[in-house]
């Protein structure tokens, strides 16, 4: 399988995230991707290259998934932050005020003139620092996703969009969970436009793929499934419950499989079988896998107990769907092991 890696990823390097009233060092660090690249050099799965997609193609692919008002904000957010106060050039931008959109009469239809308010309008947590290089890095990730979808359109069986920041928590008009542009959704939409009538997204990150779910919630042409820590106790808390099944034309085309914190490989694999059966029943002709490795027992912010030796079989199970597949790199914060775990899974898929 071809891997498209993002040459701009390291430009996005947050210093600290807000966690329970304290600022703590960011978990989502550039070294994560470097470890995956290093492992891919040790155990090649195929060609490794930066994406080559045309700028206007890329802009169009991103705009198919994200709202214009959000994209206009994100593209210049850093400049707006520094314009607010020149000293901000030394600090990451983090939100601290939110509109509780659609609740208690708080409005999200009037764009505030204050940047801090705009940042809150488009964010759902204070753990996702926006930095000088965030937009270029996020755009580079979208390019990887688009290139991976195009590789499938050209007959490849699979492709890996290796980028950070991750994407699956980013929605049509919001960032959060370390995510800014939803790479998996961009790949799924590009596959639709390349002629796949039905595309499935099977999210295996520890955290519910709330952004992807929201993007496709009312659509019947993209089936979204996610296996994750139960939002009753786990981030992102406010979405990812089993009773969210889609709405309108999309009713029945979203599947959430929340599992209790502490779940091990046996329970997790059973959920994977359920999700794969649902993908088969849906009749997808292409698959996107938001690949988070934070299901690993050693992950510092997550609560499942999968082991390094489990991932090859997970890859093989995903391959059993028999579908052309795009993988997008998502979470996984046990930095020393994330490369081994990712490549174990992808090698298992490819065997």
Q: What are the residue numbers of the active site?
A: 169
Supply 165's token pair.
Answer: 């920041």
Query: Is residue 205 at the binding interface for ligand Q9C, with CB under 6 A as the rule?
Result: yes
Query: Is residue 292 at the binding interface for Zn ion, with CB under 5 A as the rule?
Result: yes
Instruction: Select from 188, 219, 79 the least CA-distant residue to 136.
Output: 79
Supply 292's token pair.
Answer: 């988070």
Q: How far apart are CA 218 and CA 188, in angstroms?
A: 15
Which segment (23-31, 32-40, 116-124, 289-297) binds Zn ion by CB under 5 A?
289-297
Tell the residue number behind the tokens 């003139």, with chain if given. Answer: 113
- Rounded least distance, CB 210 to Zn ion, Å: 11
Tell the residue number behind the tokens 């890329």, with chain if given. Answer: 58
Size of the site for ligand Q9C (CB under 6 A): 16
Site string for ligand Q9C, 174-203 (x = CB under 6 A): ---xxx------------------------
- Asked if 168 contacts 141 with a C-beta cutoff of 8 angstroms, the reply is no
Tell the residue number behind the tokens 């007959």, with chain if given. Answer: 155
Which residues between 205 and 264 bind Zn ion (CB under 5 A)?
205-207
Task: Please pick, from the candidates 127, 229, 258, 303, the single residue that binds ligand Q9C as defined by CB under 6 A.
Answer: 127
- Rounded least distance, CB 291 to Zn ion, Å: 10
DSSP structural state of residue 285:
S
- Rounded least distance, CB 116 to ligand Q9C, Å: 21
Q: How far apart are CA 118 and CA 167, in angstroms?
A: 20
Which of Zn ion, ligand Q9C, none does 75 bind, CB closer than 5 to 8 A by kind?
A: none
Site string for ligand Q9C, 289-308 (x = CB under 6 A): ---x-x------x-------
Query: Is residue 234 at the binding interface for ligand Q9C, with CB under 6 A as the rule?
Result: no
Q: How far apart are CA 154 and CA 160, in angstroms?
A: 14
Query: Is residue 237 at the binding interface for ligand Q9C, with CB under 6 A as the rule?
Result: no
The percent of the chain in helix, strand and coil, each rounded to the nearest 5, is 40, 15, 45
Which of ligand Q9C, Zn ion, none does 235 bind, CB closer than 5 to 8 A by kind?
A: ligand Q9C
Task: Please pick, from the candidates 70, 235, 327, 349, the single residue that binds ligand Q9C as defined by CB under 6 A.
Answer: 235
- The three-point CA angle 328-121-223 to 5° equals 35
Q: Which is nearer to Zn ion, 250 or 331 (CB)?
A: 331
* Bridge partners, 223 (sequence order): 200
Task: Please pick, from the candidates 14, 231, 250, 331, the single residue that binds Zn ion as defined by CB under 5 A.
Answer: 331
φ, ψ for residue 48, nearest 5 deg: -120, 120
Instruction: Select from 323, 299, 312, 225 the least CA-distant residue to 27.
Output: 299
**Which residues touch 27 (CB under 8 Å, ≥6 apart)?**
17, 178, 300, 301, 333
* Bridge partners, 25 (sequence order): 16
Which segment (216-224, 255-263, 291-299, 307-315) binds Zn ion by CB under 5 A?
291-299
- Rounded least distance, CB 295 to ligand Q9C, Å: 10
Q: How far apart are CA 130 and CA 122, in angstroms?
A: 12
Query: Is residue 17 at the binding interface for ligand Q9C, with CB under 6 A as the rule?
Result: yes
The residues that touch ligand Q9C, with contacts defined as CB under 6 A, are: 17, 19, 127, 166, 169, 177-179, 205, 207, 235, 292, 294, 301, 330-331
The residues that touch Zn ion, with contacts defined as CB under 5 A, are: 205-207, 292, 294, 331
């Amino acid at each position: 399988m071809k891997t498209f890696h993002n040459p701009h990823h390291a430009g996005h390097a947050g210093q600290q995230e807000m966690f329970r009233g304290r600022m703590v060092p960011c978990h989502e660090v550039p070294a994560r991707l470097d470890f995956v690249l290093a492992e891919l050099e040790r155990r090649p799965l195929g060609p490794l290259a930066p994406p080559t997609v045309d700028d206007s193609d890329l802009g169009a692919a991103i705009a198919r998934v994200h709202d214009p008002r959000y994209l206009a904000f994100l593209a210049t957010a850093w400049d707006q932050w520094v314009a607010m106060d020149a000293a901000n050039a030394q600090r990451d931008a983090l939100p601290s005020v939110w509109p509780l959109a659609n609740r208690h009469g708080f409005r999200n239809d009037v764009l505030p003139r204050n940047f801090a308010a705009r940042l809150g309008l488009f964010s759902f947590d204070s753990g996702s620092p926006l930095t000088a290089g965030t937009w270029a890095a996020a755009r580079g990730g979208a390019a990887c996703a688009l290139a991976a979808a195009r590789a499938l359109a050209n007959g490849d069986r699979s492709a890996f969009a290796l980028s950070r920041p991750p994407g699956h928590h980013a929605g049509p008009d919001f960032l959060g969970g370390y995510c800014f542009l939803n790479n998996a959704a961009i790949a799924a939409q590009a596959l639709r436009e390349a002629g796949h009538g039905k595309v499935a997204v099977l999210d295996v990150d520890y955290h519910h793929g709330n952004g992807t779910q929201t993007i496709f919630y009312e659509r019947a042409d993209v089936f979204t499934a996610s296996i994750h820590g139960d939002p009753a106790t786990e981030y992102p808390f406010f979405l990812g419950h089993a009773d969210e099944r889609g709405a309108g034309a999309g009713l029945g085309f979203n599947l959430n499989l929340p599992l209790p914190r502490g779940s091990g490989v046996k329970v997790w694999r059973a959920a994977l079988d359920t999700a794969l059966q649902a993908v088969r029943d849906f009749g997808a002709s292409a698959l996107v896998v938001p690949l988070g490795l934070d299901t690993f027992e050693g992950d510092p912010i997550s609560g499942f107990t999968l082991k390094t030796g489990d991932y090859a079989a997970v890859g093989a199970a995903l391959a059993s769907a028999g579908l052309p597949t795009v993988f997008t790199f998502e979470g996984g914060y046990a930095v020393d092991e994330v490369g081994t775990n990712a490549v174990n899974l992808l090698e298992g898929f490819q065997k």
